[in-house]
């Protein structure tokens, strides 16, 4: 048994779970937290849970959990269906998380029953469902008091700040990788003028701050297994005040690509315009009355910003010796960076088309 699994099983004893633990195995493809699927035997049959150890190198657990509890309580007032919200399982002393002897922070969620989580959407309809889920999520949080949220990662989608961090990593070149990625470094530098466009639009009053999710990949939405309709948005660690267009954009960079985020064969990586169109439609279904035309017109900028920023983050991590994102092999972050830059290039080549698509909603 791995050391972490042994710790997971120990931690589990502190939560009010039903039945006896039948299995506890690593689960999902998240790059940040350690996730386990826990299956318990109860008198009524199997009961499934998600057990997670929060990455404390990145997050302050008390802040993350405070945000999640508040947001889940708020979302509970918007629906009667328990499958539409994340449900935290309390510890035996009625807390939302447990800190173990190694200072690891654990939490348990009810597994959303009879659900699917897609690494990549398998159809236009799937992707549109993800869009509706994130759109509705944002709509449901429109009346949430944003000032009560912690900023769980400072400057998370502050792209000019990410660019500064990138330049520092290039200069320090701690693992001697910079010479081999000159082309990628140049790609980031050439786009410097773009990085502030969303912050500038915010200052100009064209893009309001909203409560946003900030990590809107398709594997952060649960769909109903039978109907494939959206049920629930998960992975709430980065809920903070932010921009709607970056929530939109992060979904596009991940889900409107024709290949996985770490595809090595770049000829398979392309921006699927049909998927882009479907996502705009689904996302704005619940939001178009709340959005002004300037916000809608900035959706393509949101897509390009999230894609170039994410590529820059992967490259920064590659140059820094892979200390942030989980990697499976030495060039993993570089492969991820290259898919993002390919998508950025395609967005630039199709810019007028992307703008035309969103213009129809103004």
Tokens of 352: 């007028």
50 binds ligand ADP (CB under 6 A): yes
Site for ligand ADP in 68-87 (CB under 6 A): 86
Where do we find the tokens 């704005």?
Answer: 284
- Shortest Cβ 170–ligand ADP spacing (Å): 27
Site for ligand GN1 in 101-160 (CB under 6 A): none
Reference 197, options 299, 345, 283; nearest CA is 299
- What is the Cα–Cα distance from 337 to 332, expressed in whole angstroms? 9
Say if strands 45-54 and 210-212 run parallel, antiparallel, or are unpaired.
Answer: unpaired
Total residue length of the chain:
362
Q: Which of 7, 31, 95, 139 binds ligand GN1 (CB under 6 A)?
A: 31
178 binds ligand ADP (CB under 6 A): no
Reference 256, options 130, 132, 355; nearest CA is 130
Of the two residues 168 and 225, which places its CB atom closer to ligand ADP in the complex? Answer: 225
Site for Mg ion in 193-232 (CB under 5 A): 220
33 binds ligand ADP (CB under 6 A): yes
Say if strands 105-110 and 230-233 run parallel, antiparallel, or are unpaired.
Answer: unpaired
Question: How many angstroms separate the Cα of 5 from the Cα of each of 26, 34, 43, 118, 349?
Answer: 8, 10, 25, 25, 47
Of the two residues 220 and 286, which places its CB atom closer to ligand ADP in the complex? Answer: 220
Site for ligand ADP in 110-149 (CB under 6 A): 111-112, 115, 117
Terminal-residue alpha carbon distance, the chain? 56
Stretch of 67-75, 83-91, 214-222, 348-356 lying at the interface with ligand GN1 (CB under 6 A): 214-222
34 binds Mg ion (CB under 5 A): no
For residue 236, give every residue at least 6 positions away whose Cβ sits within 8 Å of its Cβ, in sequence order, or none: 67, 68, 71, 72, 86, 213
Q: Which of 269, 284, 310, 334 binds ligand GN1 (CB under 6 A)?
A: 310
How is the chain split among helix, strand and coil, in percent rounded to 5? 45, 15, 35
Q: Which of 34, 261, 295, 301 binds ligand GN1 (CB under 6 A)?
A: 261
Stretch of 156-164, 172-180, 233-241, 250-258 lying at the interface with ligand ADP (CB under 6 A): 233-241
- Choose the one of ligand GN1, ligand ADP, Mg ion, none that binds residue 286, judging by a C-beta under 5 to 8 angstroms depending on kind: none
CA atoms within 13 A on the CB side of 278: 17
233 binds ligand ADP (CB under 6 A): no
230 binds ligand GN1 (CB under 6 A): no
Q: Dihedral of CA 306/308/313/318: which sign?
A: positive
Of the two residues 10 and 119, which places its CB atom closer to Mg ion in the complex? Answer: 119
32 binds ligand ADP (CB under 6 A): yes
346 binds ligand GN1 (CB under 6 A): no
187 binds ligand ADP (CB under 6 A): no
30 binds ligand GN1 (CB under 6 A): yes
Q: Are 197 and 190 in contact (CB under 8 A)?
A: no
Q: Which of 35, 238, 246, 251 binds ligand GN1 (CB under 6 A)?
A: 238
The continuous run of DSSP H or E covering 52 comes out as strand 45-54
327 binds ligand ADP (CB under 6 A): no
Beta strands in the chain (DSSP E): 20-26, 34-42, 45-54, 88-89, 98-99, 105-110, 115-116, 210-212, 221-224, 230-233, 240-242
109 binds ligand ADP (CB under 6 A): yes
Reference 130, options 221, 211, 215, 246; nearest CA is 221
Q: Which of 217, 304, 332, 342 binds ligand GN1 (CB under 6 A)?
A: 217
Task: List interacting residues with ligand GN1 (CB under 6 A).
Answer: 30-32, 215, 217, 220, 235, 237-238, 261, 310
Interface residues toward ligand ADP, by CB under 6 A: 27-28, 30, 32-33, 35, 50, 86, 109, 111-112, 115, 117, 219-220, 222, 234-235, 237
- Contacts with Mg ion, residue ranges (CB under 5 A): 30, 220, 235
């Amino acid at each position: 048994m791995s050391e972490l699994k042994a710790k997971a099983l120990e931690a589990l004893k502190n939560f009010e779970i039903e039945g006896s633990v039948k299995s506890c195995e690593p689960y999902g493809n998240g790059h940040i937290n350690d996730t386990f699927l826990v299956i318990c035997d109860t008198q009524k049959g199997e009961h499934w849970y998600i057990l997670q150890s929060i990455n404390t190198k990145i997050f302050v657990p008390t802040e993350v959990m405070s945000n999640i509890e508040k947001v889940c309580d708020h979302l509970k007032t918007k629906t009667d269906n328990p499958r539409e919200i994340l449900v935290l399982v309390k510890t035996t002393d009625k807390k939302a998380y447990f800190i173990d002897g190694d200072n690891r922070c654990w939490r348990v969620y009810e597994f959303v029953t009879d659900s699917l989580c897609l690494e990549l959407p398998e159809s236009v309809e799937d992707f549109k469902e993800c869009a509706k889920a994130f759109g509705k999520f944002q709509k449901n949080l429109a009346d949430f008091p944003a000032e009560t949220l912690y900023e769980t990662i400072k400057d998370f989608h502050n792209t000019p700040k990410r660019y500064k961090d990138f330049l520092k990593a290039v200069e320090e070149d701690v693992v001697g990788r910079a010479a081999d990625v000159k082309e990628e470094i140049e790609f980031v530098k050439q786009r410097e003028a773009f990085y502030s466009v969303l912050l500038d639009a915010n200052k100009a009053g064209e893009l309001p701050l909203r409560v946003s999710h900030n990590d809107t990949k398709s594997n952060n939405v649960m769909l109903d297994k039978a109907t494939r309709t959206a049920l629930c948005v998960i992975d709430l660690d980065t809920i903070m005040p932010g921009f709607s267009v970056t929530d939109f954009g992060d979904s596009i960079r991940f889900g409107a690509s024709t290949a996985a985020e770490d595809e090595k064969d770049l000829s398979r990586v392309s921006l699927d315009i049909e998927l882009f169109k479907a996502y705009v439609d689904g996302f704005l279904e619940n939001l178009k009355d709340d959005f002004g035309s300037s916000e809608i017109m900035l959706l393509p900028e949101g897509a390009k910003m999230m894609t170039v920023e994410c590529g820059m983050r992967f490259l920064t991590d590659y140059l820094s010796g892979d200390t942030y994102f989980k990697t499976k092999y030495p060039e993993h972050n570089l492969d991820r960076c290259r898919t993002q830059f390919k998508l950025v290039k395609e967005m630039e080549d199709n810019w007028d088309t992307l703008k035309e698509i969103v213009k129809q909603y103004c």
